[in-house]
Amino acid sequence: MSKRKNQSWRNFDTEKHGQVYNLYQTIYDTVDALAAIAFIVGSALFFSESTKVAGTWLFLIGSVFFAIRPLVHLVRDLHMARLPAPGIEGAPQGS
């Protein structure tokens, strides 16, 4: 029986690959949620003339978060590519 924590739906080369992938997925989901919150609050602030400037800033911040999302995937993919595969010197065995 594998020591993996019920990750049968994922087919990673090593446990480290799974951990790295999950870390970047958490970062991606956090950025995504922050973008959504910025857009929702920004939309609500647009209802009042006195808060439109703050709403505009939140739209800009939300847009920056949306621009960061693909960068998180790019950095994750580069990181994953640099991890040693099983059977290569320096790679963890039996994980």
Distance of alpha carbon 56 from alpha carbon 36, whole angstroms: 14
Q: What are phi and psi of 62, to 5 degrees?
A: -60, -40
Tell me the pLDDT of the chain (95 aa) as tens digits.
455 555 544 677 788 888 999 999 999 999 999 999 999 999 999 999 999 999 999 999 999 999 999 999 999 999 999 988 877 665 555 54
At residue 92, the pLDDT reads 56
pTM equals 0.75
Distance of alpha carbon 36 from alpha carbon 41, whole angstroms: 9
Let me know: does 72 contact 31? Beta carbons within 8 Å: yes
At residue 1, the pLDDT reads 45
